[in-house]
Structure 1
Amino acid sequence: MKLTDSAIRAAKPKEKQYKLTDGNGLTLLIYPDGSKHWRYRYLFNEKESMLSLGKYPETTLAQARSIHDGYKAILKQGINPSTHRKEEKRKAIVSVENSFEAVARTWWMHWKHAKTERHVAYTLRRMEADIFPFIGAKPVNTLTAMHFIELVYKVQSRGALDIAKRVLTMCGQVMRYAVQHGLSERNPAADIKPADILKKRKKVNHKRIPESELPDLLQKINQYDGQPLTRLALQLMTLTFIRTSELIGGRWEEISFDNAEWRIPPERMKMRSQHIVPLSDQAITVLREIKALNSDPVLLFPSERRNGKTMSNNTIIYALYRIGYKGRMTGHGFRGLASTVLHEKNFDHKWIELQLAHAERDEVSAAYNHALYLEQRRKMMQWWGEYIEMKGI
């Protein structure tokens, strides 16, 4: 006789466990503690086996019958339901462990060494925001080129072209890692060229003044009526033309007054290689002024409001706004201006590129390329210091 919900609810515990039968091997065991458990008893290769199908009432009578019907169908195919369930569990575990997110996080842990803390954190945030919500749960060996194309289109649709390119690059790195570790047969992201699917963006040069306006800019920097340390930061940027982030993150331990050098460590450089900035006499003078004004034993440009933090990027750009150069000059503009002038004065292109820290470096050459043409660059930077002094710093 088939079970009913009312009969199941009315079933009371006894001193020993007993069972109620629904037919075709589906039973409900009633334990002395009052708990009720579904079981499926069946024969496979003339041997009796049993599967647990859940607990009542969490698993209802209708649900138990549906699960039971599924396992009966499997049994009719000559497959042991118990073996089938174990295999499904195994596949589920493998699917989770080999999901794109799981593999990506493993890749990230491997990749992050020798990268800057900021770059490492940014990469993880980007994956969590733009990749994992869409393909994170998918096993890496099921992903196709179209998955990545659709993902990139989603990012591009909000106008974030640069981020879309980075997302595709990250996906390619994760899939390459998956292939190398036997988790996927191939890397479908490698089939996609950004230029084939992303909109083209016209390259925009950083705003900068022409050389003819340099004396006026230097005069206004000298007359800057804001914080003295900000004025000195602008002067040092003019003389060294390093990136704004490299400037404001400067530490006294990187400066050698005796050798007239500023050695910026790899973790603070875009190219992940130590960068040597030969210091002209004029740059040394500015650094001594900073030293006299700044009591911080660690940072060249400490924040006024945040203890232990550096001056912000906005301090430089807002100072340029304040002296009348909004939309006409940026911190990066000093680099472009220096490059233009030095090229026009026939300094070797390689020296200029190395001093701008533009030169490509592989892992082998990174150890010594930072010192390449150092003596020539010393002379070039001293010429630049004298040129800036003549123009009015």
Structure 2
Amino acid sequence: MKRDQIKRRPMADTVLASLEPEAKEYREPDGDNLYFRVKPNGTKSWQLRYKKASGAWSFMGIGGYGNGAHQLTGEQARRKARELRESTAQGGDVMLTKRAKKAAELEAANSTFEHLAREWHALKSKTWTEGTATRTIGALEKHVFPVFGRRSFAEILPKEWMDFLLAMEKTGIVEQTSRVRGMCKEVYDLARVTGRATHNPLEGLSKYLLKKPVENYAHVPADELPALLRAMRSYPHASDLRIGLQLLSMLACRTSELREASWTEFDLNAGLWLIPAQRMKRRREHLVPLSRQALELLKELQHITGGYPLLFPGRGDASKPRSNTAFLMALRRLGYEGRQTGHGFRHLASTILNEHGFDSQHVEAQLSHVKDGVRGVYDKSTYLEQRKTMMQWYADHLDKLAAGNVVELKRA
């Protein structure tokens, strides 16, 4: 549509949408100093003609034309222009009013709980594993942001937080409720130390909520371990999980560290596994000595999954590791639901090694338990030679347990 065909103003949206560009940019008045601008490339937008405090006239863009984000239909543009005119003080500058409004909107956006929580997450995730960072923001996005995300964090009352957490608790997710409360409390701690809040509305709420269950990484008692070892070695459903369960039992690593491992982390000739810092709980590299039995299992696994980057590639997507419940479900199929977990093998290793007289520092180093402070400056090869000897003994000990010919004599 040519602009000389416009018959009435304000212009209908059908007219605005059909106006054709020309060789030069042009403006068409819509009424009350609101203009519709059309550029040669077809871009359309709204401009408000206003008088500056100096008395000079000028144009100010108030948005593009359309129905998308940051775009205005005819009715929306007229309403916005009217609001700007009405909010302008007599003799004032509408541009200053617009800037003040944008500043207020920006300040409001930056004061929402979601904005503060994402800032906290960005700071904390520098010291977390990728899995922890993903789970944390996922819990906030699922439970908290739909309720409080767009609210100003300073305006949310303690009672609102209490009601929210009690409602979560009633769904039966007590542990998740406890974690969410802890996250949100830390978010407000960030606001306090940065001078954006003077109190924490979640302070003291834990006294009135159900206690988070003590983490119980279930593991079988010593007299049932031989039967468990034999069951794992004959696991019939998937060869990679059969091998994985045995590696978990003899390496004392975290389940996620093994499940997400890639072949590039292993030096089978040297008998070493270097877990990179980004996959470790404390963001420090960890060197794991591999016993003769572990090397044999890894070489067997290499024939199964060696063509993939990961030791345990997912069945649906080989670029991702197996499900985080894969080993747990395997133990369940063997009849050990609630009695043995992947993490429970770390407890068994710690108990057995300590009971047989191995140096507790060597055991703690194998478990990648590192103290904070100066003593926490970590050397990935700490006690490596001692740990090689210790973990070979442990692998041999598990073999004897599985064979049923162990006489329990604790080392001096």
Same fold by TM (over 0.5)? yes
CA contact (8 A) 2:263 2:306 kept: no
Distance 1:353 1:178 in 2: 36
Give the equivalent residue in structure 2 for 1:206.
217
1:223 aligns to 2:234 (yes or no):
yes
- How do 1:161-180 and structure 2 match up within 5 A? 161-179=174-192
CA contact (8 A) 1:207 1:330 kept: yes
- Output the amino acid matched with 1:392: A
1:190 Cα shift?
A: 7.7
Task: For residues 198-221 of structure 1, give each alpha carbon's deviation from its aligned partner in whole angstroms, at most 9, with x where no partner exists.
Answer: 212442523322211222222222
Q: 1:331 to 1:90 in 2, by over 3 A?
A: closer
1:97 aligns to 2:110 (yes or no):
yes
Q: 1:103 to 1:314 in 2, by over 3 A?
A: closer
Give the equivalent residue in structure 2 for 1:27.
none
Q: 1:296 to 1:110 in 2, by over 3 A?
A: same
1:293 Cα shift?
A: 4.1
- Output the amino acid matched with 1:119: T
Q: Which stretch shifts more, 205-214 or 164-173?
A: 164-173
1:351 aligns to 2:368 (yes or no):
no
- Output the amino acid matched with 2:328: I
1:112 Cα shift?
A: 3.5
CA contact (8 A) 1:176 1:187 kept: no
Give the equivalent residue in structure 1 for 2:173.
160
Aligned-residue Cα RMSD (Å) equals 4.4
Distance 2:9 2:254 in 1: 78
CA contact (8 A) 1:296 1:302 kept: no
For these two proteins, the number of residue pairs brought into alignment is 352
1:379 aligns to 2:395 (yes or no):
no
1:384 Cα shift?
A: 0.6
CA contact (8 A) 1:266 1:275 kept: yes
Give the equivalent residue in structure 2 for 1:197.
208
1:278 Cα shift?
A: 1.7
CA contact (8 A) 2:286 2:380 kept: yes
Give the one of 258, 264, 278 matched to 1:253: 264
1:389 aligns to 2:389 (yes or no):
no
SS at match of 1:131: helix
SS at match of 1:128: helix
1:323 aligns to 2:323 (yes or no):
no
CA contact (8 A) 1:175 1:187 kept: no
Which runs of 5 or more structure 2 residues have no equivalent in the other structure? 1-7, 11-27, 35-54, 56-73, 404-412
- Output the amino acid matched with 2:334: I
CA contact (8 A) 1:273 1:367 kept: no
Give the equivalent residue in structure 1 for 2:352.
341
Q: 1:128 to 1:243 in 2, by over 3 A?
A: same
Give the equivalent residue in structure 2 for 1:28.
none
Distance 2:397 2:246 in 1: 13
Which runs of 5 or more structure 1 residues have no equivalent in the other structure? 1-11, 15-32, 40-46, 48-56
Q: 1:350 to 1:257 in 2, by over 3 A?
A: same
Give the one of 111, 129, 135 matched to 1:116: 129
SS at match of 1:368: coil
Task: For residues 176-230 of structure 1, give each alpha carbon's deviation from its aligned partner in whole angstroms, at most 9, with x where no partner exists.
Answer: 44445x5x44353386146423212442523322211222222222333333222
Q: 1:304 to 1:122 in 2, by over 3 A?
A: closer
Task: For residues 224-283 of structure 1, give each alpha carbon's deviation from its aligned partner in whole angstroms, at most 9, with x where no partner exists.
Answer: 333322222122111112222212222222122233221211222223222222222222
Give the equivalent residue in structure 1 for 2:312.
301
CA contact (8 A) 2:231 2:334 kept: yes
1:302 Cα shift?
A: 2.7
SS at match of 1:341: helix
Structure whose alpha-carbon radius of gyration is higher: 1
- Normalising by structure 1, report the TM-score: 0.71
Distance 1:136 1:225 in 2: 48
